[in-house]
A and B are shown apart, each in its own frame.
Chain A
């Protein structure tokens, strides 16, 4: 008791001395706030929170989902890559694996992501630009050539046509002689955030949700080690949300997928352990760490208390992190290496399961090989040199981080309550609620930057007179033509009868809402039907989403 009294006297003393000091050295700002407008106090101490922390690997997992975290195994270093042709991307993949990367992450071009073949009129100018162009199984075979699918886990950023690309991956596995239950990886398969923020939707929400639950069911039976969805806040943040909104909208979407799966008759513990998450890491270091910790705690509580999941694996929020693309500047691009380092550190301090670090030149173009290597080296330096991975949750118990974690949990829950009132995430998306919230915040950020209320080094302060133009990656313009030619060759060589039969069967099955479409998509893929052909059959049955 005496000790406590002593403490209070000391605090009083400090407060007095602060008051004196401020007369001569006023504070830099009137109030200090995080990106989510949480006011940051001058000092946090034992009175700031009354946290009770569980241990790592214990519900509700504030300190991490595994009992030993990075002392056993570092996070998976997974760099998102892909450009041009499958053959070129295959070369980059094998280079990255040689450099010590531990998992693959495939970027597809926009036509593939939106279910158009390379020769579709809509694909003009876009083939192979932001990722690899995949038309048929043939391209997938080239993409994964000499990469052992039983040893490497592959993450595929694919959403609306996720079922098609997953079937192609399965078919390549079959050809390599790898049993399905040995395939590991993740498909993004998160359509709700496409409507909200990323824009690569094809079908309206209802049939899209059906495709997603079809994948859940199919994988649970045949590909049990594959993560069937990566519920993504990344793009929500990139579109302009703050940290609280990112976590809140992502979790709200997660709840919508769980509801859809339960409605389709699945048991919570049969699919929930395969749900994965994908978050962003921006610059406000402690806020980001707190976001990851709060998100983990909230998801665990929802799964256990609301959905009565019994398997602890269902309670654990496992997540991938990518550093914030929108925080990078085209000006003085080397500064971005430092931003990426801070963001990656926040992800590691937040307990991420895997990490992509952005390349310094991403505000200018797709990354060059050199930039991609520096980005990977950044993670390796954090892992092997900094020592931050040598103890579990090193920021746990920090007065500030714990107070911020609590505050974020409160604010995220407020959003979740509001979305529930609207009628859930699907309804909120259809009404444009999340889109408006994000847009509003994006506009506020822009205004703050232009008024220099927010400093971006090299952009609105500490500018250089001359900007150096770094070497940039160029995608060969001739690629579109050669990709179209090889697609035509495949169309001529394949057994067209088998293709027609498979597509007709898919069309028929699509009419019956209770039928799982995965087997017929797999059949069509095996017959070398193209992404565009399969998606067009589904377009005819499902219609297309046209935006708000």
Chain B
């Protein structure tokens, strides 16, 4: 396969190129060809170099605060050269409130201080060559799990008051829970009732009371996704998938990695829906 070509550029007068140089080296170590422009490049020079070198992606770095002016200028200069199809990503000291502005102007993604070169390299790989992207993003919310003391008591609200349809009730012995699936649009609500005292749902109820327990995301290729998350340093509760309700393969992501929300990854048999 042809090597991915990356232009790493320093627009403006900023002389801090430690980050740019480290990233250039890391991308080379990931098998990419990297052209570094050197310091003090005008937006026109950067666009020109990108076209001449026939690069697949441009990475801009700025630490001087000139990003709001200079990054969009690079995009304008690319457009003048009919090269708007070259994606531009950026990094440096970029305050988070400037990120939406830059994304809106057409910068694909901003990597700020503390980003890992591994994640960056994977991002570029997938951006340029989606075929190598073995896994698709989660399709939809498979279900929202709600912890309840008793399914029998809880159910009438959903079926009678809201008029939703109860799909099925099932016991998952391995998790120590009884669950009820209630269909809503393309997704489901999942009521969870503990079967015994060692059930994690029991612990949840004792600690927090009834309420939303987790959100399940429908994914393909759960094993690869788990590996990828692991590699990115995302904390997982289950590093390997296990069998969940309805013969699905499931695994949980640690709430610490996701703003206090417990996420379940859930893969159903293909023929199921």
Q: Answer whether residue A254 sits at the interface, using C-beta atoms and an 8 A cutoff.
A: no
Chain B residues with CB below 8 A from A329, complex form: 113-114
Q: Answer whether residue B22 sits at the interface, using C-beta atoms and an 8 A cutoff.
A: yes
Give B43's nearest chain A residue, CB to CB: A124
Query: In the assembly, what is the distance between CA of A460 and CA of B113, in Å?
Result: 12
Chain B residues with CB below 8 A from A446, complex form: 22, 26, 117
Report which of B21, B38, B68 forms a contact with A439, defined as CB distance below 8 A: B21
Report which of B12, B112, B233, B255 forms a contact with A110, defined as CB distance below 8 A: B12
Contact status B66-A126, CB under 8 Å: yes
Query: In the assembly, what is the distance between CA of A116 and CA of B13, in Å?
Result: 10
With A439-B21, A469-B97, A472-B95: A126-B114 Cβ-Cβ less than 8 Å: no
Binds B, one of A262-270, A358-366, A483-491: A358-366
With A330-B112, A330-B114: A126-B12 Cβ-Cβ less than 8 Å: yes
Contact status A125-B68, CB under 8 Å: yes
Give B113's nearest chain A residue, CB to CB: A330
A-B CB contacts (within 8 Å), total count: 109
Chain A residues with CB below 8 A from B73, complex form: 124-125
Tell me how far the C-beta of B158 lies from the nearest C-beta in chain A, rounded to whole angstroms: 31
Q: Answer whether residue A287 sits at the interface, using C-beta atoms and an 8 A cutoff.
A: no
Q: Answer whether residue A239 sits at the interface, using C-beta atoms and an 8 A cutoff.
A: yes
Q: Answer whether residue B118 sits at the interface, using C-beta atoms and an 8 A cutoff.
A: yes
Contact status A450-B13, CB under 8 Å: no
Q: Answer whether residue B35 sits at the interface, using C-beta atoms and an 8 A cutoff.
A: no
Which residues of B (246-263) have their CB < 8 Å from a CB of A? 255-260
Contact status B18-A326, CB under 8 Å: yes
| Overall SS of chain B's interface | loop
Which residues of B (7-37) have their CB < 8 Å from a CB of A? 12-18, 21-22, 25-26
Q: Answer whether residue B39 sits at the interface, using C-beta atoms and an 8 A cutoff.
A: yes
Q: Answer whether residue B116 sits at the interface, using C-beta atoms and an 8 A cutoff.
A: yes
With A446-B117, A472-B95: A198-B15 Cβ-Cβ less than 8 Å: yes
Query: In the assembly, what is the distance between CA of A388 and CA of B262, in Å?
Result: 49
Query: In the assembly, what is the distance between CA of A477 and CA of B42, in Å?
Result: 19
What total of chain A residues lie within 8 Å of the partner, measured CB to CB? Answer: 44
Contact status A125-B69, CB under 8 Å: yes
Chain B residues with CB below 8 A from A121, complex form: 42
Q: Answer whether residue B205 sits at the interface, using C-beta atoms and an 8 A cutoff.
A: no
Contact status A123-B13, CB under 8 Å: yes
Contact status A129-B66, CB under 8 Å: yes
Query: In the assembly, what is the distance between CA of A366 and CA of B65, in Å?
Result: 9
Chain A residues with CB below 8 A from B22, complex form: 240, 439, 442-443, 446
Chain B residues with CB below 8 A from A116, complex form: 13
With A126-B64, A439-B21, A465-B259: A199-B14 Cβ-Cβ less than 8 Å: yes
Chain B residues with CB below 8 A from A113, complex form: 13
Q: Answer whether residue B70 sits at the interface, using C-beta atoms and an 8 A cutoff.
A: yes
The 0/1 profile, CB within 8 Å of A marked 1, for residues 59-103 of chain B is 000001110111001000000000000000000010111000000
Q: Answer whether residue B133 sits at the interface, using C-beta atoms and an 8 A cutoff.
A: no
Give A111's nearest chain B residue, CB to CB: B13
Tell me how far the C-beta of A254 lies from the nearest C-beta in chain B, rounded to whole angstroms: 21
Contact size class for B?
35 or more
Tell me how far the C-beta of A339 lies from the nearest C-beta in chain B, rounded to whole angstroms: 14
Report which of B15, B68, B69 forms a contact with A200, defined as CB distance below 8 A: B15
Tell me how far the C-beta of A297 lies from the nearest C-beta in chain B, rounded to whole angstroms: 29
With A330-B112, A439-B25: A239-B18 Cβ-Cβ less than 8 Å: yes
Chain A residues with CB below 8 A from B259, complex form: 465-466
Chain B residues with CB below 8 A from A475, complex form: 65
Contact status A122-B113, CB under 8 Å: no
Query: In the assembly, what is the distance between CA of A364 and CA of B112, in Å?
Result: 9
Tell me how far the C-beta of A441 lies from the nearest C-beta in chain B, rounded to whole angstroms: 10
Chain A residues with CB below 8 A from B16, complex form: 198-199, 238-239
Q: Answer whether residue A541 sits at the interface, using C-beta atoms and an 8 A cutoff.
A: no
Contact status A547-B38, CB under 8 Å: yes
Give A125's nearest chain B residue, CB to CB: B69
Query: In the assembly, what is the distance between CA of A368 and CA of B71, in Å?
Result: 25
Q: Answer whether residue A302 sits at the interface, using C-beta atoms and an 8 A cutoff.
A: no
Chain B residues with CB below 8 A from A110, complex form: 12-15, 64
Tell me how far the C-beta of B37 lies from the nearest C-beta in chain A, rounded to whole angstroms: 10
Report which of B70, B114, B233 forms a contact with A125, defined as CB distance below 8 A: B70
Chain B residues with CB below 8 A from A330, complex form: 112-114
Tell me how far the C-beta of A169 lies from the nearest C-beta in chain B, rounded to whole angstroms: 22
Which residues of A (76-114) have their CB < 8 Å from a CB of B? 110-111, 113-114
Report which of B25, B69, B96, B257 forms a contact with A124, defined as CB distance below 8 A: B69
Q: Answer whether residue B40 sits at the interface, using C-beta atoms and an 8 A cutoff.
A: yes
Contact status B15-A365, CB under 8 Å: no
Give B44's nearest chain A residue, CB to CB: A121
Tell me how far the C-beta of B233 lies from the nearest C-beta in chain A, rounded to whole angstroms: 8
Q: Answer whether residue A147 sits at the interface, using C-beta atoms and an 8 A cutoff.
A: no
Chain A residues with CB below 8 A from B118, complex form: 450
* Best-surrounded residue of A123, A125, A194 (most CB of chain B within 10 A): A125
Contact status A130-B65, CB under 8 Å: yes
The 0/1 profile, CB within 8 Å of A marked 1, for residues 182-208 of chain B is 000000000000000000000000000
Tell me how far the C-beta of A18 lies from the nearest C-beta in chain B, rounded to whole angstroms: 35
Query: In the assembly, what is the distance between CA of A465 and CA of B235, in Å?
Result: 11
Report which of A200, A459, A548 forms a contact with B114, defined as CB distance below 8 A: A459
Chain B residues with CB below 8 A from A343, complex form: none
Q: Answer whether residue A371 sits at the interface, using C-beta atoms and an 8 A cutoff.
A: no
Query: In the assembly, what is the distance between CA of A407 and CA of B38, in Å?
Result: 36
Tell me how far the C-beta of B151 lies from the nearest C-beta in chain A, rounded to whole angstroms: 31
With A329-B114, A330-B114, A450-B116: A477-B12 Cβ-Cβ less than 8 Å: no
Tell me how far the C-beta of B19 lies from the nearest C-beta in chain A, rounded to whole angstroms: 9
Query: In the assembly, what is the distance between CA of A255 and CA of B50, in Å?
Result: 41
Contact status A465-B260, CB under 8 Å: yes
> Assuming A110-B64, A122-B40, what are 19 further A-B pairs, CB within 8 angstroms?
A111-B13, A121-B42, A125-B68, A126-B12, A126-B14, A126-B64, A130-B14, A199-B17, A199-B40, A200-B15, A330-B112, A364-B93, A365-B65, A365-B95, A442-B18, A443-B21, A443-B26, A450-B116, A465-B258
* Interchain residue pairs with CB less than 8 A apart (14): A122-B13, A122-B40, A126-B12, A126-B64, A126-B65, A130-B14, A240-B22, A329-B114, A363-B113, A365-B95, A463-B256, A465-B255, A465-B260, A477-B68
Q: List chain B positions with a Cβ less than 8 A from chain A.
A: 12-18, 21-22, 25-26, 38-40, 42, 64-66, 68-70, 73, 93, 95-97, 112-114, 116-118, 233, 255-260
Lowest 4 A-B CB distances belong to which pairs? A199-B15, A125-B69, A125-B66, A110-B13
Q: List chain A positions with a Cβ less than 8 A from chain B.
A: 110-111, 113-114, 116, 121-126, 129-130, 194, 198-200, 238-240, 326, 329-331, 363-366, 439, 442-443, 446, 450, 459-460, 463, 465-466, 469, 472, 475, 477, 547-548
